[in-house]
Amino acid sequence: RKEVEQDPGPFNVPEGATVAFNCTYSNSASQSFFWYRQDCRKEPKLLMSVYSSGNEDGRFTAQLNRASQYISLLIRDSKLSDSATYLCVVNGFQKLVFGTGTRLLVSP
């Protein structure tokens, strides 16, 4: 089983839609969780950290479910500029591990 797994997508949604991604992780001792965004041919950039109590940043909401070992990212009121690949990152055995990413395409 991979340490971090994501549905590769793509998720095709219209502008204004709400979309959610999940990411599962295998190491139950993981303590740190992040969502990164990567635009085509660019480096990944931190979108948000994921806290135990869940956290929100504008249209983005991140949740952690320790019992089921997954994190989620919810994007409300999708914009064209949200089109990107979203990478889930979890601290594994002493280092951060990236998922392969979920591709989001927002269309007019």
Partner 1 sequence: GAGVSQSPSNKVTEKGKDVELRCDPISGHTALYWYRQSLGQGLEFLIYFQGNSAPDKSGLPSDRFSAERTGGSVSTLTIQRTQQEDSAVYLCASSLARADNSPLHFGNGTRLTVT
Q: Minimum distance between the CB of residue 23 and partner 1, rounded to whole angstroms?
A: 12
Binding site for partner 1 (CB under 8 A): 31-32, 34, 36, 42-46, 49, 87, 89, 91, 94-101
Distance (Å, whole) CA 67 – CA 11: 26
* Shortest Å, Cβ 51 to partner 1: 12
Q: What is d(CA 23, CA 16) in angstroms, rounded to the nearest whole number?
A: 23
Q: Between the CA of residue 99 and those of 7, 17, 86, what are the distances in Å?
A: 9, 24, 9
Q: Which is nearer to partner 1, 58 or 95 (CB)?
A: 95
CB 74 within 8 A of CB 17: no
Q: Which is nearer to partner 1, 42 or 66 (CB)?
A: 42
Q: Taking the complex as a whole, how short is the minimal distance between the CB of residue 79 and partner 1, in angstroms? A: 23
